[in-house]
Amino acid sequence: MNAGHPVDAERPGAVETVAGPVADVGATLMHEHVFGLSPEILWNWPDIPEGWNLETRAREAADRLTELKEHGVDTIVDLTVIGLGRYVPAVQRVAELTEVNIVAATGLYTYDALPPYFGNRGPGSLFGGPDRLAEFFVRDITEGIGETGVKAGVLKCASDHLGMTAGCERVFRAVAEAHRATGAPISTHSHSASRGGLEQQRLLAAEGVDLGRVVIGHAGDSTDLAYLEELVAGGSYLGMDRFGIDTISSFEDRVATVAAMCERGHAGRMVLSHDSYCFNDRFDHEVVRRRHPDYHLLHISRDVLPELRRRGVTEEQIHQMLVANPRDILTPREPY
């Protein structure tokens, strides 16, 4: 069966996408975003220069994804969750216009405090009560997001330079609970400069998570091979997923690190991506374009893969990072 062909939702191994379950995700970019939106800005100042028209932006995004398909990529994982402006109805429209599979995520993105809706509820909050984060995440996976019917296929959580703050810890524990209840994989945002992936692994392991079901995101920001091998030794996948953001780590450093890790036998524990957006109203598009000219969905296909091949990375290793590893991560597992 071809990648992206819809299948019976009850079929074992089917991966949930925005357009429904598919049997084979094919070549996959594991950390991208379709839309990053600021709802309160859009509600109150709809004439902002960036502009938001769902149909216009959906067609623009679909065109970009269709071009990506022409470059050999079948699926993207859209790691836009609460805190990043997730709006699944818009992504549904994109999915109607392109053959690229889009895997939706659930979770919550913060480096510190929780949004007031959750921050004012739950353990340690002003008003107390039960922590419902895991309940919300599980519902997104098992029933669907909002009224869309779209089921999330992956969980997302984040910590950054502030470390594992109380708010981040609460999200990580809720993600771990939802993971165990559903078997859905976990993908993180980590701060490589402070070796933050190790702290994430420790907390998730303490919550009973199989670290082999975890992608430590933004591991590719690091050139510290000892740190990366420590994450691999813990069992997790490494998200080499910010190709094109050269201000954090240069193109040369990113490809050299992936090539070195492949040479050391770790292709089976890496996935590739850009962390790019089709449309994001939180940044000035022209400034981003000038500062990060390679920050787009085609950079890996056009530039990164040829350079990896030049450095001795084999076709088998590239297939492992783009096809086999994502398939293993995204294939549903039983709760535990």
Q: What is the rounded CA–CA span in Å between residue 222 and residue 219?
A: 6
Task: Tell me, yes or no, whether 84 lies in a domain.
Answer: yes
Which residue ranges in the chain fall short of pLDDT 50? 1-2, 5, 9
The answer to whether the CB of 27 falls within 8 A of the CB of 5 is no
Give residue 180's pLDDT: 98
Q: How far is CA 127 from the centre of its chain?
A: 32
Q: What is the rounded CA–CA span in Å between residue 185 and residue 209?
A: 10
The answer to whether the CB of 64 falls within 8 A of the CB of 297 is yes
Give residue 46's pLDDT: 83
- What does the DSSP 8-state code read for residue 302? I
pLDDT tens, residue by residue, 20-53 = 999 999 999 999 999 999 999 999 988 877 789 9
pLDDT tens, residue by residue, 180-202 = 999 999 999 999 999 999 999 99
**The domain containing residue 72 runs over which residues?**
23-330
The tokens of 296 are what? Answer: 């787009």
- What does the DSSP 8-state code read for residue 16? P
Task: Tell me, yes or no, whether 9 lies in a domain.
Answer: no
Q: Which residues are annotated as a binding site?
A: 31, 33, 156, 189, 218, 275
Q: Which residues are annotated as a binding site for Zn(2+)?
A: 31, 33, 156, 189, 218, 275
Give residue 124's pLDDT: 86
Task: Tell me, yes or no, whether 16 lies in a domain.
Answer: no
CB atoms inside a 10 Å sphere around CB 259: 18
Task: Tell me, yes or no, whether 336 lies in a domain.
Answer: no
Q: What is the rounded CA–CA span in Å between residue 65 and residue 17?
A: 15
Give residue 126's pLDDT: 86
Task: Tell me, yes or no, whether 17 lies in a domain.
Answer: no
Give residue 244's pLDDT: 98
pTM, two decimal places: 0.95
* Domain CATH code at residue 318: 3.20.20.140
Count up the domains in the chain and report the number.
Answer: 1
